[in-house]
Homo-oligomer: A and B are copies of this chain.
């Protein structure tokens, strides 16, 4: 259980000395995902000790270079490291052709299977599900086809309340499955012990919403409602709303407004334009609308347990 998002890169457009393009490593309910993969991501993974072998699923929001030019290098490195496990890659239609051509021309012969899940729908859809986590797309509005991703824990099972169970000597291990399944227990005396006394309710499933590059888009609010952490790009400060609109990006205040309306717990900002030196202004402006705002920075991990 729990969420930990590690920022690998959080700047826009071009890699600079200490400004790496978008990539995040998400651990959620013991599942491990890589989200976006700008140039230099594999170096950042090594720097922040993200185990390469943990990653079985990579989600790419869109095919602008600052979100996916690092993908082919990472896939080639997996090959060099003799990876054998299947890897799933989710991203816009076209990602398969360009990635396979690059790997082919560089004669990167990987032993492992790559499965591409190409996306083209403009509606939110379930694209991944196992017993621990679901992943849904968050259709965004950018200059190219773009999705954010909503990662949600599956409802966890009830836990046995062992201290209370021990009060009833005749309840034994044979009853545990029934108790976990929500059943009440009738003792030999005829007394009924309520299931709620014998169990600890499951913790609320946590969720993380990743919204990469997008115009201000209030239509996403119902999809990300009550998310525990929302990463939302804020390329510009509020005074450049004109430029945000033109380039289909968001401002600090637009990101904060989305966070407020969606009633999330925490907002993380990122994808700062290279024109800004003092990033604290981003936090300050957003906090005027949404108090619990933090700034993405490489190596920082945001955790909810």
Contact = CB atoms under 8 A, between A and B. Distances in A.
A76 interface: yes
In this complex, the interface size class of chain A, counting residues with CB under 8 Å from chain B, is: 35 or more
Contact of A97 (B13, B42, B101): B101
B65 A143 contact: no
A39 B40 CA distance: 7
Contacts of A46: 16-17
B64 A106 contact: yes
Given A40-B15, A46-B16, A72 B76 contact: no
Contact of A15 (B72, B73, B94): B73
Interface in A135-172: 143-144
Copies of this chain, tallied across the complex: 2
Contacts of A188: none
Interface of A: 13-17, 39-40, 42-43, 46-47, 63-65, 68-70, 72-73, 76-77, 80-81, 94-95, 97-98, 101-102, 105-108, 143-144
Given A39-B70, A63-B105, A95-B105, 20 more contacts: A14-B73, A14-B76, A14-B77, A14-B80, A15-B40, A15-B43, A17-B43, A17-B47, A39-B73, A40-B40, A63-B107, A64-B106, A65-B73, A65-B108, A69-B73, A69-B106, A98-B102, A98-B105, A107-B143, A107-B144
